[in-house]
Amino acid sequence: MNQMPQTISFSPAKTNPFTPVTPEGQPIFFSALHQGSGVVNVWSWDKTGAKSNPDKARKLLKETLSKFNKDPRNSAQQAKAVTDKNIIGFNAVVDYFPHVGPAEIAQGWYDRFNALNGEDHTVYASGLNAFETVEHALRAGEMWWTLTCNRIAV
């Protein structure tokens, strides 16, 4: 996996690029958090409320990544198959993000959330609005702390 680009978004071929992807458990985003490590995070997407199917998700993960597992700068190179051996961690369901529906958004959920920033002298360094992974949120917090410490005596 070391030869793949740092970040890839997957989307099935479709006639209209503005039509949303039909969620069927397929991988949709790939991100190598630490360049050169060979370790990546991959997110799959399924219908809201769909019954968890880890076997299907794992199968789709291997099938999809096996098509892209090569250096994209080398058009002659064959992609290497991704196998179970390559998957060192697998979570069927990761539900750490609050799911906010259209009604909540219309009623100002994000406005209320954003209004909390700065309350009681608190600054929120979070990836909540960007659907970030915990790793990205930690990086943002570390960067904020470093910048803050450089500006004031702590």
HEC states along 110-132?
HHHHHHCCCHHHCCCCCCHHHCC
> Which domain does 139 fall in, by range?
97-154
Let me know whether 65 and 127 are in one domain. Answer: no
Q: What is the pLDDT of residues 88-123, one digit of tens each?
A: 877 766 655 566 788 988 999 888 888 888 888 777
Q: What is the pLDDT of residues 52-97, one digit of tens each?
A: 888 888 899 899 889 888 888 888 999 999 999 988 877 766 655 5
Let me know whether 121 and 151 are in one domain. Answer: yes
Q: What is the pLDDT of residues 1-54, one digit of tens each?
A: 556 666 666 666 677 878 777 888 888 777 776 667 777 778 788 887 888 888
Let me know whether 102 and 43 are in one domain. Answer: no
Let me know whether 134 and 147 are in one domain. Answer: yes
Let me know whether 76 and 2 are in one domain. Answer: yes
Let me know whether 86 and 101 are in one domain. Answer: no
Among 4, 55, 3, CA closest to 25 = 55
Q: Among the three residues 76, 95, 114, which one is the final residue of a domain in this structure? A: 95
Q: Among the three residues 95, 112, 131, which one is the final residue of a domain in this structure? A: 95
Let me know whether 147 and 101 are in one domain. Answer: yes
Q: How far apart are CA 42 and CA 29, in angstroms?
A: 6
Contact indicator for 36, 62 with CB cutoff of 8 Å: no
Q: Among the three residues 95, 121, 140, which one is the final residue of a domain in this structure? A: 95
Let me know whether 124 and 114 are in one domain. Answer: yes
Q: Three-state SS across the chain?
A: CCCCCCEEECCCCCCCCCCCCCCCCEEEEEECCCCCCCCCEEEEECCCCCCCCHHHHHHHHHHHHHHHCCCCCCCCCCCCCCCHHHCCCCCCCCCCCCCCCHHHHHCCHHHHHHHCCCHHHCCCCCCHHHCCCHHHHHHHHHHHHHHHHHHCCC
Let me know whether 65 and 103 are in one domain. Answer: no
Burial annotation 53-92 (CB, 10 A radius, 16+ → b, else e):
eeebbbebbbebbeebbbeeeeeeeeeeebeeebeeeeee
Let me know whether 68 and 119 are in one domain. Answer: no
Let me know whether 121 and 88 are in one domain. Answer: no
pLDDT value of residue 149? 73
Q: Name every residue whose Cβ is closer than 8 Å to that of residue 116 and which is 6 or more positions away in sequence.
A: 122, 124
